[in-house]
Structure 1
């Protein structure tokens, strides 16, 4: 789930000196000897990593990247939490769940916000979330669409106890709904396309109704950030160069991302409005402490409150150092 950014072409790799807090520019570097294993899964805001690989932007920015695609988003979360990979593409909600379980992680980049590509899709005759009472709803437990479902139920004055939750991986949940085995499903693009193949189906809630609730990030283990800041910077630089290339080469970029998502280019274009790619400035604004849903510290607090209230976590995690904006700040404007 989900649940990208747009901007700058970078010609140099920035070297970050953690101890002094200073940055210095170097000439374009050869690919680093330290390999970064980067995980991502099926979400439009993360498919630009596939573009970065195919266009050679990792090497151009001096980073040696092993890009690892996970068919199961949950598997990618577990891989980062256990140190099997160095970095992962994941939501704020799921990062907080990992941190509450003791994982040491750092968010270094906001890829995007989900603005409609996470949906609660229901069968014909179900016209609102309130109509889900007593119905079978498939969703991947503990992930962001489970969170979206709980938010939507709460707004309709319902709880999870008012439905029959069917726990399934997102791809299986969408397939089960399309086959008529459940009454509704919580899913993210591109799996929403599978779910909507069911005749008469419709979205009764989506992430656009909960602004800022589902931001998506590049998340590293804290140890890797401490030991390899230059590689982290190279990956952040790569991101902004990639999304600029996508903006300037929309057709070829869409073909690459659609292929990775297993959909047609035309179908992939329907996801554009539902995933808002963050610019560098939007990243800086999000990392700045504030009191609105656009600020990550505020959104993290709201998510934790909800997770505590629903029993998804048992105690409030310590978030000191989780949000690390050094690398976005070091990207040239």
Structure 2
């Protein structure tokens, strides 16, 4: 299962019970070896470039030893970062805010992308607008980014979640239920949009393109990593921009790598291009300077108002722009 927001209660549970080794300090390398950074990612077009970085040796080129860990369950990656079982993770801003609200200590150091259409509310044939969902059953993973998108879309249409029957399902199961005709609409993200749209006559009635900037995706690090290995974090950020440049210069090979990791054809993967806007270095700098602080406050307020979190997360220390500012173009 691939999942992109976790509820604070689940984060708190992970923080208090944890996985094996939760709460332990990372072991120090022996003999002066370069510390290894464990970087998590999962199924989202804006994060598959990390697979390219690994296969093309771009982490090593920047002098950082990385254990790249792919999570079938995005929720598991969020828990792993929250409990300190990985050092860094690829996750959305609203997911990060929810984790911080649950007690996690995390910092955003890079904008990978903005979702510009690859998060979608897809409805059955005959339903052509969000207003048409009134009284219908809509599936999405509860507390996830596409639950968040659903709430944004309902609000824009003058509705609330009480106007629909919400069916909480994991993202892959939600897509399958929609294709099987068990629900009337579904909230999913790529590559599960491809699955959902196999239902005859189905079509998106709302996407992240309708809410510009609402769903930014990031490299987020455990604050302990910042204290332990700021140089390594800088190398991760530099590697990202090197990877984006490599993909631009070697598009055919890059698409093969990313499509294979996504489990889809190259042709299907190419359809995700417009729905995910990869951020340049200049866009990163602008985002940290002008956009992200306000966006974080806006999302925080919405999460509280929608009761997706119990209390607003602390925003101090959430954003750290120094790493993108230090990258040489």
TM-score, normalised to structure 2's length? 0.89
Asked if structure 2 preserves the Cα contact closer than 8 Å seen for 1:2 and 1:45, the reply is no
Matching residue of 1:328: 324
Matching residue of 2:200: 199
Query: Quick one: distance in 1 between partners of 2:247 and 2:4?
Result: 19
Instruction: Point out the structure with the larger helix share.
Output: 2
Deviation at 1:83, TM superposition (A): 1.2
Matching residue of 2:38: 37
Mapping 1:124-163, distance limit 5 Å:
124-163=125-164
Mapping 1:49-128, distance limit 5 Å:
49-128=50-129
Matching residue of 1:306: 302
Query: Quick one: distance in 2 between partners of 1:226 and 1:181?
Result: 49
Give the match's secondary structure for 1:103. coil
Matching residue of 2:253: 252
Asked if structure 1 preserves the Cα contact closer than 8 Å seen for 2:87 and 2:221, the reply is yes
Give the match's secondary structure for 1:111. strand
Structure 1 segments (4+ residues) deviating >4 Å: none
Offset from partner CA, 1:224-247 (integer Å, 9 cap, x none): 111110110111111000010000
Offset from partner CA, 1:259-298 (integer Å, 9 cap, x none): 111111011111101100000000000000x4xxxx0011
Deviation at 1:33, TM superposition (A): 2.1
Asked if structure 1 preserves the Cα contact closer than 8 Å seen for 2:150 and 2:187, the reply is yes
Mapping 1:211-222, distance limit 5 Å:
211-222=212-223
Give the match's secondary structure for 1:302. helix
Give the match's secondary structure for 1:251. helix
Structure 1 runs not aligned, ≥5 long: 4-30
Mapping 1:256-267, distance limit 5 Å:
256-267=257-268
Matching residue of 1:8: none
Give the match's secondary structure for 1:45. coil
Paired positions, count: 301
Asked if structure 1 preserves the Cα contact closer than 8 Å seen for 2:112 and 2:279, the reply is yes
Query: Quick one: distance in 1 between partners of 2:286 and 2:218?
Result: 15
Give the match's secondary structure for 2:279. strand
Query: Quick one: distance in 2 between partners of 1:168 and 1:44?
Result: 22
Asked if structure 2 preserves the Cα contact closer than 8 Å seen for 1:32 and 1:62, the reply is no
Query: Quick one: distance in 2 between partners of 1:245 and 1:38?
Result: 20
Query: Quick one: distance in 2 between partners of 1:117 and 1:277?
Result: 12
Matching residue of 1:170: 171
Give the match's secondary structure for 1:234. helix
Mapping 1:261-300, distance limit 5 Å:
261-288=262-289, 290=290, 295-300=291-296
Root-mean-square deviation over aligned CA pairs: 1.4
Deviation at 1:2, TM superposition (A): 5.7
Structure 2 runs not aligned, ≥5 long: 6-31
